[in-house]
């Protein structure tokens, strides 16, 4: 049996929701990852330190006792975020940074930012206090094709932000294009990116060919094959500014399989296994530990984990669905067979 042992990794981009959904999905992450950056796009959004600490307490209450999982909290940037809030975040050991959602760009982003440049004083304060900025890097403008919105965001906003605030640590979340890869590679060490398993493994054919596949629909959407190849090359390159972020985003099955389905792939139950599949396809399993376990922690200036996780090369079938109080969550690749699975934790 072929095995692969890694320093236990972290998930640098995760959606957990609240209540019954949180309780159902968190164990999948906690058994695979030591820490995760928790996204703040709840209803209402997590915009204050007090809200973040309350949410953190709810998460900790749901953590399986044998995992030692640690949530890393973020605050939701709005048009009215204050400089005082930035300073409070810098002083709070449990808050990692701020998340910028362009208004309307993705799930629960209605309270997001309409005028990014008006937030430059906030970015200046974040730079001063070394508080990272996490960005959903898409414009929400009907003039631009949905497949171009990441590139347009980089050209219209991110290039200027990186020039105006050269010391601000920025993570361009869930990158999907060769344009984003090229931007990160050409930027300074203060700019990094997360990459999801679905964007490493699939192009837009997976979502569109042979009928609409709603469980492949996420934002930013899957792109052309040459973009996927660029992401895979970046992830397996050993470049420390690309690291793991699943963007696992649970939505009830009936809300995905509808005439206006939610955006998000629920990958938590098989996330690490999917990354192993992708890296093996690229003949780069030796690069997985850096991408999954080291680079994100180093960028965020956190200690690397000391425990280990082992995957084995043996087939298993992804469940068709997971029950949540009488409703279901359908995982990515439901019912399909994968070649890697978790063997042991230590």
Confidence of residue 103 (pLDDT cuts 50, 70, 90): confident
Which whole-number Å values give the CA distances from 313 to 28, 222, 280, 308, 309, in the listed order? 19, 27, 11, 17, 14
- For the chain, give the mean pLDDT: 96
pLDDT digits (tens, 9 = 90+) for 75-99: 999 999 999 999 999 999 999 999 9
Measure the CA–CA gap between 201 and 197, rounded to whole angstroms: 6
Measure the CA–CA gap between 206 and 218, rounded to whole angstroms: 12
Phi, psi (degrees; rounded to nearest 5) at 269: -70, -10
Is 23 part of any known ligand binding site? no
Which 8-state DSSP code applies to residue 102? B
Residues in the chain, total: 346
Assigned fold of 3-342? TIM Barrel (3.20.20)
Q: Prior bond to 220 cis, omega within 30?
A: yes
pLDDT digits (tens, 9 = 90+) for 248-278: 999 999 999 999 999 999 999 999 999 999 9
Find out whether 100 and 131 touch, Cβ atoms under 8 Å.
Answer: no
From the candidates 247, 286, 320, 323, give the one annotated as an active-site residue.
247
Strand order through the sheet with 308-317: 3-7, 308-317, 337-345
Q: What pLDDT is recorded for position 49?
A: 98
Q: What pLDDT is recorded for position 1?
A: 58
**DSSP state letters, 127-149:** HHTT--EEE------TTS-GGGH
Is 256 part of any known ligand binding site? no
Which 8-state DSSP code applies to residue 157? I
Find out whether 300 and 235 touch, Cβ atoms under 8 Å.
Answer: no
Measure the CA–CA gap between 15 and 103, rounded to whole angstroms: 18
pLDDT digits (tens, 9 = 90+) for 155-171: 999 999 999 999 999 99
Helix 225-235 × helix 178-186 angle, to 10°:
30
Is 41 part of any known ligand binding site? yes
Q: What pLDDT is recorded for position 305?
A: 98
The pTM (predicted TM-score) of the whole model is 0.97
Q: What pLDDT is recorded for position 346?
A: 46
Residues paired with residue 344 on neighbouring β-strands, in sequence order: 310
Q: What pLDDT is recorded for position 344?
A: 64
Is 99 part of any known ligand binding site? yes
247 is catalytic: yes
């Amino acid at each position: 049996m072929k095995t692969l042992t890694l320093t236990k990794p972290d998930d640098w981009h995760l959606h957990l929701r609240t209540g019954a959904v949180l309780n159902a999905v968190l164990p999948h992450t906690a058994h695979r990852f030591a820490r995760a950056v928790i996204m703040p796009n709840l209803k209402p959004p997590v915009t204050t330190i007090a809200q973040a600490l309350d949410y953190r307490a709810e998460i900790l209450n749901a953590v399986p006792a044998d995992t030692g999982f640690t949530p890393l909290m973020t605050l939701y940037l709005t048009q009215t975020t204050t400089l005082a809030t930035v300073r409070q975040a810098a002083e709070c050991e449990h808050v990692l940074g701020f998340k910028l959602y362009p208004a309307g760009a993705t799930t629960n982003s209605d309270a997001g930012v309409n005028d990014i440049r008006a937030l430059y004083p906030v970015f200046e304060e974040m730079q001063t206090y070394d508080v990272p900025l996490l960005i959903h890097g898409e414009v929400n403008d009907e003039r631009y094709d949905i497949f171009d919105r990441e590139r347009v965001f980089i050209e219209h906003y991110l290039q200027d932000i990186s020039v105006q605030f050269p010391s601000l640590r920025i993570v361009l979340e869930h990158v999907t294009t060769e344009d984003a890869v090229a931007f990160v590679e050409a930027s300074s060490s203060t700019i990094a990116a997360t990459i999801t398993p679905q964007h490493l493994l699939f192009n837009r054919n997976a979502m569109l060919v042979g009928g609409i596949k709603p469980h492949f629909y996420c934002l930013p959407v899957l792109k052309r094959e040459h973009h996927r190849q660029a992401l895979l090359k970046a992830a397996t390159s050993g470049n420390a500014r690309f690291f793991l972020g699943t963007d696992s985003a649970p939505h009830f099955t009936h809300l995905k399989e509808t005439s206006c389905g939610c955006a998000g792939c629920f990958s938590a139950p098989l996330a690490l296994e999917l990354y192993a599949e992708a890296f093996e396809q690229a003949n780069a399993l030796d690069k997985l530990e850096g991408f999954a376990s080291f680079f994100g922690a180093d960028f965020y200036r956190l200690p690397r984990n000391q425990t280990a996780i082992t995957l084995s090369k043996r087939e298993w079938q992804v469940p068709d669905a997971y029950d949540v109080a009488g409703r279901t969550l359908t995982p990515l690749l439901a019912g399909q067979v994968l070649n890697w699975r978790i063997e042991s934790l230590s």
